[in-house]
Structure 1
Amino acid sequence: MTEGLIADVIVIGAGIIGAACARALSQRGLKVVVLDAGWHGATAAGMGHLLVLDDNPAELALSQYSLGRWRELAHLLPEGCAWRNNGTLWLAANPQEMAVANSKYLNLLAHGEACELIGRAALRQREPELREGLEGGLLIKGDGILYAPAAARWMLDSPHIRRQRAQVAEVDGSQVRLDDGRWLRAEAVILANGIQATELCPELPIEPKKGHLLITDRYPATVTHTLVELGYVTSAHNASGPSVACNIQPRPTGQLFIGASRQFGTVDPQVEGWMLAKMLKRAVDYMPGLAQLNGIRAWTGFRAASPDGLPLVGQHPQRKGLWLAVGHEGLGVTTAPATADLLVAQLFNEASPLAPQAYLPERFLGEPVYVS
């Protein structure tokens, strides 16, 4: 059975990307239905780190613009969203990594980011729990943290948005079939459900990257900034095998998030003891006192990774009426507002706040086969 138009737009996925898209569309007065199967996706599993990354110009443009949008929203966010502008401190373990820090510093400074190079002595003053012997670091002052599940719920709290628990079995342009056989129609459908997107569009070049996280008991004032080793940059884009990198984030509760790991070739959600141990050992290498803290829970999640590390944002070139907002890997929370702005500009045929070419799906899926 096919129902009439149930909304102007159907969004598949109620994580931070789908929620940001739904909110942006609702602010234009559109009626939006958000369909979500209720799986605990990357939004629930991630650290909620808001950061500017500059591995390439398109990544820098997207993350920098989006972080600016988060700062604009900050005063509206409920306290439960746990927004904090605590900055990211990239850690250099040796002179070679300090040279990388200096290069990042010059690049980010040239693009207007507030940042500061920090030497050995100043590093221990900023973060006394770090081990001795680190070469220094780079502080990105505008970075922050957020509790993404609460932010997504806040974004979906609009009279123009209706959220519905439903499993989508098929997408055909601007209509979707639920697992109970019903077809729902709208003017447009936005696919924003992370790694599940390939179940509805097998042609998408999205690969899951498994990650482990651990959260500690409450230890207030142990860490101030989000601490990330500069080796994370190479680790994050290592597609050849499992990798770990030190990533320690203080939560407003006084707890610490400890990451990070990356694994390809598995969709098993189980916590793997060997990988968790490897990840924690790496963190303890940078902050020896972590070994004395109580870890209260560990879990896993899956990042939806594209081949070039950039998301697919825009019309599906072979499926008229279907729009994509997928493939954000570990930057979904950071880049959610930018993704929504890019997509809305395309839907309304308006000037985009960012050059959209680097993120368009046709870079993988080919030229459009229909006229818009």
Structure 2
Amino acid sequence: MRVVVVGAGIVGAACAFHAAAAGLDVTVLDRGPVGAGTTSRGEGNILLSDKRPGPELELARLSRELWDEAGAELGPHTVELQAKGGLVVASTPGALAGLQVFATRQAAAGVRTERVGCTRDLEPHLAPGLPGGVHYPQDAQVQPVLAAAGLLGAARRRGARARTGEAVAPVTGRGGRIRGVRTADGAVLPADAVVNAAGTWGGEVGRRLGAPVEILPRRGFVLVTQPLPPMIRHKVYSADYVADVASDSAGLETSCVVEGTRAGTILIGASRERVGFDTAMDPAVVAALAAGACRLFPFLRTTQVIRTYRGFRPYCPDHLPVVGPDPRVPGVVHACGHEGAGVGLAPATGALVTAHLLGRPWRGADPAAHAGLLPDRFLTGEGAPS
């Protein structure tokens, strides 16, 4: 089977990694460099802690296992895979009670959770007086661009090809089935299937392929501090982060997320707002994120922020990724709409896409078990987008 993957970010690279491992003939196309889009603008989170029980959590649990497998092949230091664990902290007794209820539901779904009374036992530099939290030992982190390049490199070693600087248009045959893509130079690249792994631009690529999906940009900022000695052991975030992830609001929302990197810098997030593809710097957002981080870790008040960056999460209206074949256009398979979870969900998404292409389970991914992610959940009537 000849497969074209559109998108060389972390999800597209994972699709190529698994499809090539299954023996498929894979070509990856992207109009920009490898990992240059949303992948380069994230923190590299591999999280179970922020997932509600349901289709996304099931994909995340599989992905956590597959990240370990990929890390073993690529080399954990090569992609900076760190099984650091996550610590979610509450600022009030009421927030703690809600967090514990949430964690109990996650535990019933197979997530390892540990209630924490004194949060400073795990993070000595946290602010005093916090009523408690929940520790998630399965949470991890990678350097996202290194991870995308590593997965794509492994796919190439299995015979896959990658071409950057390539915009694509579909070429269809009898019955509207995809039979290839036309590249910027007018050449036709034959394909039996085209995987839409275009991230935030997944909606645009879907429209070009005749299979539109509603993927919207949701802007977020991250602050980066000066390098420091190790001060923060886990990914640490406030309990309201989970609510912000699940929110449908188009307005600005900020919640405190703080974690260290192997290089010694500290990453501070997270903000969310739907402003289209507006890349403008907003000092008010930066100030809000910095203030929240200082409340959580008081030592940051004297720490220098050396840069900020911002990017766009591929937001889907129901907060679930779109993974699977599109019934409107035979040969189109979607792998987009992961919002802020693309890095964490990438390996399982790649395995699930490969399972759909093969027509059978692959590396623990069974299409029948992940039907809640199929694009037809948005279709009504004659198959038009709802």
What TM-score, normalized to structure 2? 0.89
Quick check: 1:199 aligned with 2:204? Answer: yes
Distance 1:335 1:101 in 2: 23
1:294 to 285, 291, 304: 304
Quick check: 1:50 aligned with 2:46? Answer: yes
Q: Can you list the C-alpha shifts for 1:51-102, whole angstroms capped at 9, x where unaligned?
A: 1133241121111111121123332233131111110000111112111221
Q: For the aligned residues, what is the CA RMSD?
A: 1.8
Q: For residue 337 of structure 1, what is the amino acid of its counterpart?
A: P
Please tell me whether the aligned partners of residues 55 and 370 of structure 2 are also in contact (alpha carbons under 8 angstroms): no
Distance 1:359 1:295 in 2: 39
Quick check: 1:334 aligned with 2:344? Answer: yes
Ranges in structure 2 where 5+ consecutive residues have no aligned partner: 172-177
- What's the counterpart of residue 19 of structure 2? 25
**75-84 vs 321-330, which moves further:** 75-84
- Map 1:14-163; keep pairs closer than 5 Å: 14-38=8-32, 40-52=36-48, 53-78=50-75, 79-119=77-117, 122-157=118-153, 158-159=156-157, 160-163=159-162
Ranges in structure 1 where 5+ consecutive residues have no aligned partner: 1-6
Q: For residue 162 of structure 2, what is the amino acid of its counterpart?
A: R
1:353 to 366, 376, 380: 366
Please tell me whether the aligned partners of residues 253 and 271 of structure 2 are also in contact (alpha carbons under 8 angstroms): yes
1:239 is displaced (CA, Å) by: 2.5
Q: For residue 150 of structure 1, what is the amino acid of its counterpart?
A: L
Q: For residue 320 of structure 2, what is the amino acid of its counterpart?
A: L
Q: For residue 69 of structure 1, what is the amino acid of its counterpart?
A: L
Distance 1:171 1:291 in 2: 52
1:201 is displaced (CA, Å) by: 2.4
Please tell me whether the aligned partners of residues 41 and 309 of structure 2 are also in contact (alpha carbons under 8 angstroms): yes
Please tell me whether the aligned partners of residues 261 and 279 of structure 1 are also in contact (alpha carbons under 8 angstroms): yes
2:190 to 164, 185, 189: 185
Please tell me whether the aligned partners of residues 48 and 146 of structure 1 are also in contact (alpha carbons under 8 angstroms): yes
- What's the counterpart of residue 174 of structure 2? none
Please tell me whether the aligned partners of residues 74 and 151 of structure 2 are also in contact (alpha carbons under 8 angstroms): no
Please tell me whether the aligned partners of residues 198 and 205 of structure 2 are also in contact (alpha carbons under 8 angstroms): no
1:347 is displaced (CA, Å) by: 1.1
Q: For residue 161 of structure 1, what is the amino acid of its counterpart?
A: A
Distance 1:174 1:314 in 2: 18
Please tell me whether the aligned partners of residues 202 and 337 of structure 2 are also in contact (alpha carbons under 8 angstroms): no
Runs (4 or more) in structure 1 with deviation over 6 Å come to: none
Please tell me whether the aligned partners of residues 13 and 35 of structure 1 are also in contact (alpha carbons under 8 angstroms): yes
- What's the counterpart of residue 175 of structure 1? 180
Please tell me whether the aligned partners of residues 204 and 365 of structure 1 are also in contact (alpha carbons under 8 angstroms): no
Please tell me whether the aligned partners of residues 53 and 109 of structure 2 are also in contact (alpha carbons under 8 angstroms): no
Q: Can you list the C-alpha shifts for 1:94-144, whole angstroms capped at 9, x where unaligned?
A: 11211122113322332333221111xx21222122112211110000111
Change (3 A) 1:353 1:260: same
1:367 is displaced (CA, Å) by: 7.9
2:317 to 285, 296, 307: 307
- What's the counterpart of residue 246 of structure 1? 256
Q: Can you list the C-alpha shifts for 1:170-199, whole angstroms capped at 9, x where unaligned?
A: 234242222333332211111101111222
Distance 1:293 1:80 in 2: 28
1:357 is displaced (CA, Å) by: 1.2
Please tell me whether the aligned partners of residues 271 and 298 of structure 1 are also in contact (alpha carbons under 8 angstroms): no
Please tell me whether the aligned partners of residues 252 and 271 of structure 2 are also in contact (alpha carbons under 8 angstroms): yes
Q: Can you list the C-alpha shifts for 1:178-229, whole angstroms capped at 9, x where unaligned?
A: 2333332211111101111222324311111000011111112210000011
Q: Secondary structure at the match of 2:192?
A: strand
Q: Secondary structure at the match of 2:17?
A: helix
Identity %: 33
Q: Secondary structure at the match of 1:271?
A: coil
1:308 is displaced (CA, Å) by: 0.7
Please tell me whether the aligned partners of residues 220 and 253 of structure 1 are also in contact (alpha carbons under 8 angstroms): no
Distance 1:89 1:183 in 2: 50
- What's the counterpart of residue 11 of structure 1? 5
Q: Secondary structure at the match of 1:156?
A: helix
Q: For residue 103 of structure 1, what is the amino acid of its counterpart?
A: V
- What's the counterpart of residue 227 of structure 1? 236
Q: For residue 238 of structure 1, what is the amino acid of its counterpart?
A: S
**140-149 vs 59-68, which moves further:** 59-68
